[in-house]
Structures are given as structure tokens and as C-alpha cells.
Amino acid sequence: MNLEEYPEPIKKDIEDQSLSILEHIADDILVIGGWAVRALIGDKHGRYTLDIDGVTKQTTMKKVESILESLGMRERKSEWGVQFYQQYEANVKIPKEIQKEIDDLELRIEISGPRIKESQTAHYFEFSLTEVIGREIQYHEKKGKVKVNVPPVEHMTAVKLGLPVDYKNNFDSQVLLKICNIEKVIEIIKSNDDWSEMVLRRIPKLIGRLRDKERLEHLLAINNDINIKEHIKTMRHIENKLKTG
Amino acid sequence: MKIKSAIFGLICIKPYTIKSIVKRLPYAPVSIYNAIEEMLNEGKIYKIKTDGETRLDIPKKYMDQKRKDFFIKSLSYGIDPEIFLRENTLLVWNALDTSTTVKKITKKTKLSEKSVRKYLKFFADSELIKFEKKKPLIVAKIHNHPLVPLVTSMVKESDKTERMYSPGSSPFEEIITTPDEIEKILYEKIDDSVAIKKTGFFVKGKPGKISVLESVTSKQILEVIFLDKLMTPEGVEDSCIKILANKKIDFDMLLARAIEKNRINQVGCYLNILGDINKKLVPNEIIKKFHENISQKKYIFLKQEMKYGKSGWEQKYEKIWNVDLYLDIGAIEHGARGI
């Protein structure tokens, strides 16, 4: 079995179409999740998610809703907020063998309030809607870039460190930690409700998975020129600082 | 031996300059120059620069390297590699897998009976086949001859690896396939980042994604791959979700294999959790079917994660499925949201 991405032209078309939708609401939302990490890290991140995740003020939500509706997107309630979706219609040739899967594919944008809750717990992280930075995401086939607002790298790192320890979050936190101010990350974790409890819960697992030479996280870290020893040291430092309050 | 084979045979042992080849092989220089030029054009050999001299060497691609190994081994066993690698010789050799009489081989290869007998004699003289009966002649391959696996790797068609797609971009690709295929992939991707699971082998290559290769002794059906992946954290949190999202899985087959492997409780529990997260991934009736076959024995699901403890959500599923649960629900939800 070969588990892989869609062929390059399809993948690029999906990403360009998602980006094109995002362009309409880019001023009204703060992009978070995989797309934000990509915007902060650049192309070497190599990880795009199908869904675009964003947060916004309750008062702006109506505006976003009407823009996305005017683009033909439908909406449904999601665990986090509202998911806007529309059927993907390919602008490129689709091989017969994947036509069925492509027919089921949706372009999705999920938008919620700035406070994101951790699954199965009452802990939350609240994104600042004022402390944001501008970044550009380049289209693949279309000329031009989309200007988006994303959280500063320290905020993104703080949230990623407290999220479930799957390879995606783990990989994102690895690449983010490399380029951020660690003390600022600690400060942000501490200032966010009891997010530090989530981070403290996740760190042993983050380290355990990173250390294990058989784990994907270990391979991804080496492939991204991350010094695993140093990285673990940094996480231990964060852990100690959070424990001592 | 034909001139091209002689040149190839010599370069197989070590790279040589054209001047040395001309000096060492018993053919007219002009014939050697012409043969080398043709071989370079055909891509069977290439020029390298070592110690300030231009030498001829064998390309580092899979098939070329296999051919090189075959040449050396063949010569070592006193078998002319050039004759063996002729189209008709290989035709008869391949026919021997399913046919054992001259009549059947003749029919299968569409060669004359005389030619078939000639090739069989070549194989017999090379101790690659044995005559099991003389009248009528019945022959059989000697499978443990060291040349056999080398020829097989050169003539065998690729195992078709099933492709599964998922949206988005990933920093890695995962390939589970047979050793022969892994070997081919290694030759193809050796300049990129490649890792082979359970071996510690990992080479960093050009910037970009890693290919994570997993070797399995024989081609496996999707349901077996799913069952094996389900016993790993990344399987539970990522690959198994992608496999289900591709909708190619046969749930009846999965059920049968899960019973065989005593994993019915874990699989049922996992399908139940995923079905609760996203109903489209697992139909309710499938979960019921699994539950009808539940085992009374309690199983730990997932042992590797035991050290991190439980989070408090597990009880509901533990009761239904008779499992001791150590899954990360947040990670599973994250995986399911991505499809």
C-alpha cells in the first residue's frame, strides 16, 4: 500500500481553490492551524491540510458568513464553530481511478470564536485578535499571493504544545520551536487560562515520541534539521518553568 | 561471447578506461570503439571520472545493478550470461514456471520444438533445470541455484502496490510493500530522504519529504495492513483513518481477519470511536456486526501508549468492547478532521 498525496496538479488545484476562497475573508479572520504554520514557516514546512481553520470575533462572524454564502458555500455546525463547505470541482484532469474519491471531496473552512477548547476537557486557549502578524501565501498556479493574518509564532507554538500529540501537531511544534522566543512562549502559555496544564500533560508524550527512533516524529525531526537533544532540552526547560509557576 | 557482453562483463568487475578495455579484450579496436559508443547511447554503461581519468561504469539504477550482479554470478558459474539474457532463452525460462513438458513449453512460447529442446539443453548443462523423466521429457527448475533469484528479480513484473490518496500535503509518504519492491524504490529514491522501518536505516536526501518504507514478506491485502497499522499510534491516529476514508476496505474481510488475529475487540472499539466522530467513516451496522463477535477476553489497546495513562473518556468504550483503552482521542479526532 502506498499512502500518498493526490497527484501534484490535483493537489495544487485543491490548495489554490481553498486559497482563493480564503482571499475573500482574509481581512476578517485570523488563520490558525496547519495553514498558519505553513504561512509562518514557508514552503519547507511541507504540510498543508485540506481544511482552513480560522478564528474571528462574534461580531464579524455574520459578515464572514454572508461572504462565504455568496461564494456558494454551505454551512454546518462543527465541534469548534461553523464549518463552511462546498464540493470541489476540479479544474484539472482527474485520473479515472480516483474520480470517485474526488467526487466526494469538499473544500472546507472552519471558523470559530478566538477561544479554542481542548477536546474532552474544559481547558482552552484564546487567540489574541489584536496581536497578529501579516503573512503571504503564494498560489501554486495562479499569479499572486494572499495576505493573511496569523498569530505570532510564539502564540502558535504555545497552542500547538498543548494540543493532542499526533505526528502533525508534534511536527508543527518542532518546526515552530526552532524559530521562536522560548521565554515568550512560556509567558503566553501561562497567561492562557490553565493551558499550562495541557502543555504539561502533553510534553512527556511529545518527548517520548520524538526520542523513539522508530517513530515518524523522530524521522521528520531529523529530516528537518532539528537537533533532537537540543529540542528535548528546550521542552524540558518549558516543562520546568511551567511547573514552578 | 559477443563483444558487448564481454565489455559489460569486464566493467561489471570494475570501471575501466576505454584504452584499457581495448588493450585487454581480444577484439578489433574499431569493433570495441563502436560497441562502446552503442552501449553508451543505449545507457547500458556510462562515463565517470576517477583519479583524473575517464572510465566506463555500470549505471546505479536497479535493473543495471541487477544485470551486473547476474553477469558476475553467471560467469562465476561458467554460464554464458549473454545466452541466458537473450529474449528466447528468457521466454523458455519463464515458461518453465507453469509448464514442464516440451509440448507445453512449445505451445506457450510459440517457439519450435527444436529451439525449445536447445534451450532446455542449455539450462540442463548449466545445472539450472533437472530432467525428472526422459520419455516424455519432464523438466523442473532447480530453484535453489544462486542464479535463479537474480534472474527472477530481472524478469518479474512489479507487484502492483495499491495507492491510497489523501488530501493535503504531507511531509512524508508511507509505502508498505514486498522486499523486491523496496529494493527497487531504494534505487529510485536513494537521492531523497528514505527510511526503512524496523531497521534504523535512514538517509537524508534532497530537501523534501521522506519516504517511509515498510517491508512485508508478501503482498498484503488492505484489511491485513489495516489490522497491523491499528496496533501502532500513527496507524490509529492517521493511516487507519485514511484507509477507511478511501472506502476500499471490505468490512466482512476485516471482520474475518480480525477474528483470525484475535483483534475483534480492538477493531470493533476503534470503528465505534471513529463512527462516533464521523458517521460517514463507519456505518452503524458494521459496528453491530463486530460487536456480535466480541471476545470475552480483555485486551489492551494500545500497549505502546500505556505509559501515558488514560484521560477519562475511555470508560464508555471499555465497557462495550471489553478493552483496556490507551488511545489519544484528541489525536484521533484531529486525524479524522483532516480527511
In sequence order, what are the beta bridge partners of B128?
A: none
Cβ–Cβ < 8 Å for B92, B117: no
Cβ–Cβ < 8 Å for B230, B240: yes
Q: What is the 3-state secondary structure (H, E, C) of B118-168?
A: HHHHHHHHCCCEEEEECCCCEEEECCCCCHHHHHHHHHCCCCCCCEEEECC
Each residue's pLDDT tens digit, B309-322: 998 899 999 999 99
Each residue's pLDDT tens digit, A90-140: 999 999 988 888 998 999 999 999 998 876 777 889 999 999 999 999 998
Cβ–Cβ < 8 Å for A116, A54: no
Question: Does the CB of A95 have a partner CB in chain B at under 8 Å?
Answer: no
Domain boundaries defined on chain A: 1-151, 153-245
B231 vs A contacts (CB less than 8 Å): none
**Do B338 and A216 lie within an 8 Å CB cutoff?**
no
Cβ–Cβ < 8 Å for B108, B91: no
C-alpha cell at A73: 458555500
> pTM score, two decimals?
0.83
Cβ–Cβ < 8 Å for A15, A140: yes
Quote the pLDDT of residue A193: 77
**Do B169 and A11 lie within an 8 Å CB cutoff?**
yes
**Do B165 and A4 lie within an 8 Å CB cutoff?**
yes
Residues A190, A192: Cα–Cα separation, whole Å: 5
Return the residue matching grid coordinates 454564502. Answer: A69
Each residue's pLDDT tens digit, B4-45: 999 999 999 999 999 999 999 999 999 999 999 999 999 999
H or E, element range at A117: strand A115-117
Architecture of domain A1-151: Roll (3.10)
Question: Does the CB of A82 have a partner CB in chain B at under 8 Å?
Answer: no
Helix (H, G, I), strand (E, B) or coil at A120: coil
Each residue's pLDDT tens digit, B71-124: 999 999 999 999 999 999 999 999 998 888 999 999 999 999 999 999 999 999
Q: How confident is the model at residue A191 (pLDDT cuts 50, 70, 90)?
A: very high
Q: Residues of B numbered 160-219 whose beta carbons fall under 8 angstroms of chain A's beta carbons: which are they?
A: 161-177, 193, 195, 197-198, 200, 202, 204, 207-210, 212
Which of B170, B198, B331 shows the shortest C-beta gap to A214? Answer: B198
Instruction: Report the residue of A3, A205, A206, A222 to disrupt the B interface, i.e. the one with the largest count of B CBs within 10 Å.
Output: A3
* Domains delineated in chain B: 3-59 (1.10.10.10), 66-154 (1.10.10.10), 167-219 (no CATH), 221-337 (no CATH)
Helix-helix angle B222-229:B251-260, to 10 degrees: 60
Residues A63, A65: Cα–Cα separation, whole Å: 5
Question: Does the CB of B231 have a partner CB in chain A at under 8 Å?
Answer: no
pLDDT higher than threshold 70 for residue B158: no
Return the residue matching grid coordinates 478511501. Answer: B246
Question: Does the CB of A101 have a partner CB in chain B at under 8 Å?
Answer: yes
Signed CA dihedral, B68, B69, B73, B79: sign only = negative
Residue B325: asked if its preceding bond is cis (omega within 30°), the reply is no
Q: Which value does ipTM take for this structure? A: 0.89
Cβ–Cβ < 8 Å for B244, B274: yes
Residues A80, A33: Cα–Cα separation, whole Å: 13
Helix (H, G, I), strand (E, B) or coil at A132: coil
Angle value at C-alpha A203, between A198 and A209, nearest 5 degrees = 130
Smallest Cα–Cα separation from B174: which of B247, B254, B232? Answer: B232
Each residue's pLDDT tens digit, B196-205: 998 999 999 9
Q: How confident is the model at residue A148 (pLDDT cuts 50, 70, 90)?
A: very high
Average pLDDT, chain B: 92
**Do B242 and A51 lie within an 8 Å CB cutoff?**
no
Return the residue matching grid coordinates 511529545. Answer: A206
Residues B99, B92: Cα–Cα separation, whole Å: 10
Q: Residues of A numbered 204-233 whose beta carbons fall under 8 angstroms of chain B's beta carbons: which are they?
A: 204-205, 208-209, 213-216, 219-220, 222-224
A49 vs B contacts (CB less than 8 Å): 168, 338
Neighbours of A241 (CB within 10 A): 17
How distant, in Å, are the alpha carbons of A210, B319, B322 from that of B301? Answer: 21, 13, 10
Provide the terminal-to-terminal Cα distance of chain A, rounded to the nearest Å: 48
pLDDT higher than threshold 80 for residue A47: no
**Do B167 and A2 lie within an 8 Å CB cutoff?**
no
Residues 6+ apart with CB under 8 A from B176: A1, A2, B161, B213, B214, B216, B220, B225
CA atoms within 13 A on the CB side of A199: 30
Angle value at C-alpha A77, between A74 and A81, nearest 5 degrees = 110
